[in-house]
Amino acid sequence: MRIAVVGSGYVGLVSGACFADFGHEVTCVDSDERKIEALKKGVIPIYEPGLDELVARNSEARRLLFTTDLDAAMQSAEAVFIAVGTPSRRGDGHADLSYVYAVARDIARNIRSFTVVINKSTVPVGTGDEVERIIRETNPEADVAVVSNPEFLREGAAIEDFKRPDRIVLGIEDERARAVMTEIYRPLYLNKAPLMFTARRTSELIKYASNAFLAMKITFINEMADLCEAVGSNVQDVAHGIGLDNRIGSKFLHAGPGYGGSCFPKDTLALVKTAQDYASPLRLIETTVAINDQRKRAMARKIVRAMGGDVRGKTVALLGLTFKPNTDDMRDSPAISIVQGLQDAGATIRAFDPEGMEAAKACLSDVTYCTDAYDTAAGADALVLVTEWDAFRALDFPRLRTLMKAALLVDLRNVYRREFIAQHGFRYISVGRPEEDIPVALAAE
């Protein structure tokens, strides 16, 4: 099938490359000429494991093309995906749909025969209705079916998620679109990928509800972590204990410094705003948003307390800056609030991230960016593990001990165990676990 994907950012590029790998003929369209020229040369604008190889393989096979010319891309396209950004609108928190609507107008001008227009961007309920209205208003002769097909891709595991999805949600109002969407996703049938057809507005809400629920789950275990610290319990044991219940499950129950990234922060906020517009407030989501924002700044205070309550003139070394490992995404990363909080308290910051350094420089100033974990730790009064990259899971602590001014590790991801760290003379502070030594008998369990 011939497919056009408008928007060559994270979702558009991953989707286009995966569709091409299925055997479809895909043209990715973007208005950014420099990005398109780079993609033609095999230069990928984002970090996603395996994406460079996927793009190269399908570009070489001529199944994946890149262009700025939407008209040319739509000449023979049977389906057109909208995959542009929907950031939080400045000032009110609503999703900014200006890019989606602009693309809808451009698509309308280029429709020549029956075309299925699929919205893969994350959008509030009713956006598909407006996209269809815009297309028909712009081109009254357009024969079009507008579909909602939200993405459920985890950054760092997007290709695996696309090719082996839990579900493929398809919101349709025109039955002609059913056959087209079934054919597009037919290559997944060997993996028994479930196609869920539903109403378009329902599909749009499924995406927001999914992200909001996961954000609540993260926030729940983070609040449990605070209680564990207060009463002397271990949040990892609590998470394991409740996660064994099949009704709850173990995923997204890892205590840490709060959620960030391109989805959860903006999507929870947009859902809250949508609910308010319809006079149906979502109190749980509102509280989740507030708690998560507060938690990020609270992590800076936690570090200050661990360093004796005063960090003026002291150096803090941060390992990891991106909101999660295996991405270069700094959007709403907890590291931003942590750095700013520590700087406000008078600390000097040294930092290293395997992939996020360039992105970090755009949002964090007065930070010394280092070449690796050991360069970062040199002369530091505390080492803080912010993002659980694999490169930080087996650090050489005897070496770190000789490099640092003070032997203090603040582990905001609970990567290590206190008894292991103590063997190397370090004081260890984690999240949701008691600060006193764990009895050997319990540690062995």
Q: What is the sign of the dihedral through the CA atoms of 36, 38, 39 and 40?
A: positive
Residue 437 burial class via C-beta count within 10 angstroms: exposed 0-12, middle 13-18, buried 19 and up: exposed
CA distances from 57 to 17, 53, 103, 267, 400 (A): 9, 6, 28, 33, 42
Question: Averaged over 383-402, what is the pLDDT?
Answer: 97
How far apart CA 246 and CA 279 sit, in angstroms, is 34
Instruction: At 192, list the tokens.
Output: 């028994």
Q: Is the pLDDT of residue 434 over 90?
A: no
Domain ranges of the chain: 2-198, 232-444
Question: Averaged over 174-189, what is the pLDDT?
Answer: 94
Closest by CA to 239, choosing from 262, 217, 266, is 217
Coil, strand or helix at 336:
helix
> pTM of the predicted model, to two decimals?
0.92
- The residue ranking higher by pLDDT, 441 or 292, is 292
Choosing among 3.20.110.20, 3.40.309.10, 3.40.50.720, 3.90.230.10, the CATH entry for 2-198 is 3.40.50.720
Instruction: At 249, list the tokens.
Output: 């499950």
Asked whether the beta carbons of 4 and 73 are under 8 A apart, the reply is yes
Choosing among 3.30.470.20, 2.40.37.10, 3.40.50.720, 3.10.180.10, the CATH entry for 232-444 is 3.40.50.720
Question: Averaged over 6-22, what is the pLDDT?
Answer: 96
How far apart CA 21 and CA 235 sit, in angstroms, is 42
Among 346-350, 358-362, 431-435, where is mean pLDDT lowest? 431-435
How far apart CA 445 and CA 427 sit, in angstroms, is 22
Confidence band (pLDDT; 50, 70, 90) for 436? Answer: low
Instruction: At 193, list the tokens.
Output: 């990928």
Q: Is the pLDDT of residue 225 over 70?
A: yes
Coil, strand or helix at 401:
helix
Residue 263 annotated to the active site? yes
Asked whether the beta carbons of 395 and 378 are under 8 A apart, the reply is no
CA–CA–CA angle 180, 166, 16 (5° rounding)? 50
Domains 2-198 and 232-444 share a fold: yes
Q: Is the pLDDT of residue 96 over 70?
A: yes
How far apart CA 206 and CA 69 sit, in angstroms, is 33
Residue 243 burial class via C-beta count within 10 angstroms: exposed 0-12, middle 13-18, buried 19 and up: middle
So what's the pLDDT on residue 192? 67
Residue tagged active-site, from 18, 28, 263, 370: 263
Asked whether the beta carbons of 75 and 81 are under 8 A apart, the reply is no
So what's the pLDDT on residue 193? 64
So what's the pLDDT on residue 440? 37
Question: Averaged over 76-80, what is the pLDDT?
Answer: 94
Look at phi and psi of residue 432 and say left if phi exceeds 0, alpha if psi is from -120 to 50, else beta: left
Instruction: At 71, list the tokens.
Output: 């008209």
How far apart CA 374 and CA 372 sit, in angstroms, is 6
So what's the pLDDT on residue 90? 81
Q: Facing residues of 88 across strands?
A: 95
So what's the pLDDT on residue 167? 94
Asked whether the beta carbons of 377 and 403 are under 8 A apart, the reply is yes
Instruction: At 119, list the tokens.
Output: 């919205």
Asked whether the beta carbons of 273 and 92 are under 8 A apart, the reply is yes
pLDDT in tens, 250-276: 999 999 999 999 899 999 999 999 999
Q: Is the pLDDT of residue 191 over 70?
A: no
Among 61-65, 178-182, 433-437, where is mean pLDDT lowest? 433-437
Instruction: At 135, list the tokens.
Output: 């297309």
pLDDT in tens, 303-346: 999 999 999 999 999 999 999 999 999 999 999 999 999 999 99
Q: Is the pLDDT of residue 442 over 80?
A: no
Enclosing H/E stretch for 119: strand 115-119
